[in-house]
Structure formats: C-alpha cells, structure tokens
Amino acid sequence: MAKNTVQKSDYGAKSIQVLEGLDPVRKRPGMYIGGTSLEGLHHLVWEVVNNSIDEAMAGFGNDIIVRLLPDNVVEVVDFGRGIPVEIHPQTKKSTLETVLTVLHAGGKFGGGGYKVSGGLHGVGVSVVNALSEWTKVEVHREGKVWLQEFARGKSKGDVKPVGKSKRTGTTIIFKADSEIFPEIEYSWNKILDYLRYQAYLTKGIRITTEDWRSVATKADEYKVRRYGFYFDSGIISFVRFLNRNKTVKNETPFYIEKKVGDVAVEVSLQYADTFKEHLFAFANNIVNPEGGTHVTGFRMALTRVINDYAKKNGILKEKDGSFSSDDVLEGLTAVVSVKLPDPQFEGQTKAKLNNTEVRGAVSSATAEGLSDFFETHPQDARGIIEKCMLTARARLAARAAKDAVLRKGALDGMTLPGKLADCTTRDASKSEVYIVEGDSAGGSAKQGRDRMFQAILPLRGKLVNVEKTSLDKVVKSDTLKPIIIALGVGIGDTFDISKLRYNKVILMADADVDGSHIRTLLLTFFYRYYESLVSGGHIYIAQPPLYRLQKGKDVRYAYNDDEKARVVEEMKKIAEAKATARADKKGKAAEVVEPASEGEENAEGEGSTAGEEKVAGINIQRYKGLGEMNPEQLWETTMNPENRVMLQVSIEDAEEADRIFDVLMGNDVEPRRRFIQTHAKTVKNLDV
C-alpha cells in the first residue's frame, strides 16, 4: 500500500510576486490593450486620442492633431484644458505624473472632471506610458508650457515649466516599446478610418492627421500626407458615407437626437438595396463591435414601429402576420451612438455595453422619432416597408427551399453530397474539408489526401454570385447546395455553428484569373452567409505553388516569381559548390561549369520538355492549374500540414470588407470599373 509523502516545496511568501505601479501592465499587456499584435499597438493611439475626444465632448477644444513621426513616434495634440500640474493631495506628486504613472487615476470617476467619457477605467494614458520606450507630455496651462518625460512608465524627473503659452491643451508624444510589441508599424488607413469615425460621432470637431514618416528634413515637408475630418451633420453624414455606392430606399436618412434621463441618444438609419445589415454601435464614441444594450433597445423599437406603421396603413395584412426582426434588419445601415456618465463595458477593449438603463432610453427615443419620421416622410416609409416585405417573402421562400434541401438527415451527415469524399474522423476539431475547383483537381486531391482527417468536395457547375441574389436562390444552387449540406451548420435562421463538421474549410483553386474569380465568389458566399465562420478563423485559402524546380535529385517549389528567382540562385550556387568539391577531391584545379543560358541544354545534353524552361541546367515547370499536379505533388506542396502554406481569412475592418465585396460583386458597374482602372498596374502574375 502506497504511503502518503509530503513533497518539499519552495512555495512560500517569496513565490508571491507583487507588481507595483505600472509593472502589471508591462507584465500582462493583453489585459489592458487586448494583446501585443498590431491591433494592440494601434490601441495605444486610440487611448490617447480618446482622452482628447473626451475634452472635446466636455466642451473644451474643437481641434485635435494626430501625427505619425519618423522612427515610429506618435504625437497627439489637443487644445483642451490641459492636464493639471499641481500637486495631487493623495499621491503627493504632480497631477500630471499621477495620471501618467498610476492605474485608475483620472478625471472620470465622478470627480466632476467629465460628465461623459470613453475612458471607464482611468488606465488609458498610463497604459500607453507603461508600454512605451519613452513618453513626453507637454501641457499648455496657466500661461505656461509644462514638460515632463518618462521612460517605460517611470518619471525621469519632476514636471517643470519650459516656456510661456497663450493657449491651453495637452501634447503627448510616445514611442511604443519594441520589448513589448514584436512589430511596430502603424497603418495610415487604419488610423484614418478610426479618426473619421470619431469626427462623425462628435459634430463640429476637427481632426487633422499628418504622416511625417517619409520626411527627412523640414525642406521635405511637401511629402507630408495630411487629411482633415469635420462633419456638421455628424452621424447622418456617416450613414450617407456608408451607403455612398448603394441604391437607397429612403433618400432622407432618419435621424433622432434626444436626452433620456442621463443618456444622450443619437440614431440615424437608411435602407439600401442589399442583403446585409450594417449596424455600428458606439458608447461615448467608443466602438462596440459586439453591440450591447443600446443595440438591443434599437432593434426592439425598429421592429415594433415598422410593424405598427405597416399594419396601420394597410400595407401589411393580418393574414401576413408580422415582420420578424431579421426582416427589418436586412439592407439596414444604421449608427447608434449613446453618451452616458457611467458606461459599463465588458473588458478594457469595451466590445459590449452592459448598462441596463440604456436599452429603454434608446428604445423610447428611436420609437418616438421613427414614428414621427414615418408620418412626415410617407414615401420614405413606404420604400422601407417594401424592402422589408421583399425580405419576408424571400425568407419564406428560403425556408421552403431549406425544408426541401436541408433535411434532418443531411444536417446530421447521413445524406451528404455524392461528390463529397468525406474523412474518417468524426472529431470536427481535427477535420478539414477542401473545396476544390474542378473534377480533375478533385481527383488528384482525393488520391493525395490523408483520409483520416481530410475531406474533398469538388465544385461542379457555375457558381452563383450571392451579392446579386436572394437566400432562396442560394439554397437551390446546384453548386452551393453541396457546400451548405457538407458544412452541416444550416444557413440563415437555421444556422448553428455548434454543428460545424469541419474545423478548417479550405478553398483550393488554380493560381490564375479563373481561380481568383472562383475564390472571390466563394469568399462572397462565406462572408454574406457564414460571417461567423470567417470571423471565427475557420476559412482558409490554399496556396499551391506556381513553379516546380528540379536539378538532379534536388526538387523545390516556388509560389511566385520572386521566390523562383531566389531558388534558382540558390540551386546554382549549390551546383557550383558541388562541382568545385568534386574537382578538389580529384586533386585537380577547381573547375566551375559556366551556367547555361535560358533554353540551352545542360552538360548532359538534356533539353527542356514541353511546358518547361531550363535555366542553368535547372528544369522549371510552371503549373497552369491544380490538375497538372499528380496526387503526390499536391499532397507534398498544398495538403501536407507539415509543408503547406495557407492563408487564414479574417475580417479586420467589416465596413471596408463590405465595401470591397459590394464594389467587386455588386450590381453597380461604375465603381467596379474605377477600381479596376485604379489597381490594374499593381496586378502581378496576370494571365492574359
């Protein structure tokens, strides 16, 4: 019988680490900015800008300047009141140093500094300071310019006056710490998009952005990129911007601005001739990608008011029932913005608003305003309701089609598509399905795969452009229907991600124009009807090689022309080194064979075969399609998890992604023509 033994342990008081000051931020940055990726890096900029926005919302300073300086330095200038510099009664340090070095220190905790603020936790600027190699803060206040400098969150000295000033405001300059962030590269477009949103959400504020990164001296100032944002109409302009290339159902966007208790509500909406909802939610100018109570209140009011008006005016008959929430959301473009004294979010990144009182405030303000809008704009009201009726009819038709197509057996995997070569495992977390272009490539993929975890679904027939069709036609499509059944998650209102049969859905098409077109059609389908699969990281794009290079027994693959050139040089050097070694071994003078020119025969007299070229005795085969690869090559290069290269599809900017899909795949030809003309010269590997 085994005896109980007490193991000696070093676990004691010394094992407990106490992190002081800003050390917790440097130890666990993900808790404060969501991570150390490029997203987290940009979050530093948002934190500083949000403080300046808070000043503007409080009525102090309408101008903000954001500068990207050389050496990855960021400067944010505002013209607000300026951070106080007097000694703080609790910390006995200057208030400026307290704000920059103490977590949860700020004017946003009921001390009267701000009635409305996006900074809930009071950690924003102190986190930026902690995660920066150095930070400089310049305060214009009380007729003086005050300066204090910091290094990795710690003060380098007391705040001191360095000059006189006739204005007020704060300038924060920081350099993100390379010890924290593996990659430091600010995206000009990402910053522009964020600041544009902020300008839309705060009427009358002017935000100027400057990119000085390519400027070496003051004489090169002409190279500075500058953008300015200023919108008198606020979120009405935002909605018009989002629908700029779409056919709208109500020419006049709906808008309501109302104070309900302590909650200020702003809502604007417009319907477009599209199949997707675009709803942007903000609380105190902070974007809430996961929505929250304000979104719930808005949707409740929208559904109720549209149903009431449609029935009251005889547009919707009793026998027709009522519009569902899905019916009134299709084609909707809306911005819901609330400002409140004490916002409660989920997490420091503020993805979701939790204040319960906001739901009722937004619901009552939206219902009252939208009812008045419908009475005063009957033509716009009819356009909106007709759009909802079309959606409802399509929903009923789609349900009938799905009842016929997605039987219970199909969803359970008992009636799978005949073309599908399924995998052996039933563990969805380990399985993957290749959606392959063409029967020829599908045949090679079926022979070359690992049957245990890899399924193959060849595409057959013409793919439907889902951007131009409705759900009922999608589920009837002979090409898309097998994909819907194979995935097992349903579609539309029957979607259930827990039933996903494959953890990875891999699109595999030829590396030519036709293959790109097929990938675009498939990506449009997944983005429009399976967005959660995309955002969840389940969609991948296989990267088959363009070239196979062989010299003797040395076989390599290249995925583009640049890589091909590099591999050719490497193989030439290896061949030359081997030739030198052989010559030395024989005791002769090293004799290096001159490389043969392109198309010449090598030393052994071997010429290039059809479809190949020869460079320095290296046979180079260019694959025109997946069907040209035998099963072993396809497995080795594109399907073997140890060797393959795949691109994971993600959504970094939902609004921009939606715009691109609309431009490339929508009904309007002119934006697509402009896009092609703009980007035609940047296309590589174009097969004509």
Q: What is the pLDDT of residues 454-478, one digit of tens each?
A: 999 998 778 888 877 777 778 778 8
**pLDDT on residue 332:** 95
CA atoms of 189 and 446, how far apart (whole Å): 42
Catalytic-residue membership of 514: yes
Quick one: tokens of 249?
């159902």
Its pTM stands at: 0.65
CA atoms of 658 and 662, how far apart (whole Å): 6
Whether 108 and 124 have beta carbons less than 8 Å apart is answered as no
Assess whether pLDDT exceeds 70 at residue 638.
yes
**pLDDT on residue 106:** 53
Catalytic-residue membership of 561: no
Handedness of CA 513, 518, 521, 523 (dihedral sign): negative
CA atoms of 381 and 474, how far apart (whole Å): 29
Cα–Cα distances in Å, from 384 out to 273, 301, 303, 305, 333? 10, 15, 12, 12, 12
**pLDDT on residue 528:** 85
Candidates 226, 326, 336; CA nearest to 277 is: 326
Assess whether pLDDT exceeds 60 at residue 180.
yes
Assess whether pLDDT exceeds 70 at residue 11.
no
Whether 140 and 168 have beta carbons less than 8 Å apart is answered as yes
Catalytic-residue membership of 437: yes
Q: In this predicted model, which residue has the larger pLDDT, 197 or 208?
A: 208
Mean pLDDT is lowest, of 79-88, 188-197, 423-432, 675-684, for 675-684
Exactly one of 327, 510, 628, 658 is catalytic; name it. Answer: 510
Whether 300 and 402 have beta carbons less than 8 Å apart is answered as no
Exactly one of 514, 561, 584, 606 is catalytic; name it. Answer: 514
In percent, the amount of the chain with pLDDT more than 90 equals 42
Assess whether pLDDT exceeds 70 at residue 9.
no
Split at pLDDT 50, 70, 90, the class of 583 is: confident
Q: What is the mean pLDDT of residues 389-410?
A: 66
Catalytic-residue membership of 372: no
**pLDDT on residue 655:** 64
Assess whether pLDDT exceeds 80 at residue 675.
no
CA atoms of 649 and 643, how far apart (whole Å): 19
Give the orientation angle of helix 293-312 with respect to helix 378-405, to 10 degrees. 100
Contacts 24+ apart (CB under 8 A), 35-41: 36/180, 36/181, 36/182, 37/183, 38/183, 38/185, 38/187, 40/181, 41/176, 41/181, 41/183, 41/184, 41/185, 41/186
Split at pLDDT 50, 70, 90, the class of 687 is: low
Split at pLDDT 50, 70, 90, the class of 429 is: very high
**pLDDT on residue 33:** 82
**pLDDT on residue 145:** 95
Q: In this predicted model, which residue has the larger pLDDT, 320 or 405?
A: 320
**pLDDT on residue 667:** 65
**pLDDT on residue 688:** 45
In percent, the amount of the chain with pLDDT more than 70 equals 84
CA atoms of 4 and 665, how far apart (whole Å): 70
Exactly one of 512, 576, 653, 655 is catalytic; name it. Answer: 512
Exactly one of 437, 467, 472, 658 is catalytic; name it. Answer: 437
Question: In the chain, what are the domains?
Answer: 23-229 (3.30.565.10), 235-402 (3.30.230.10), 406-544+648-682 (3.40.50.670)
| pLDDT, mean over the chain | 83
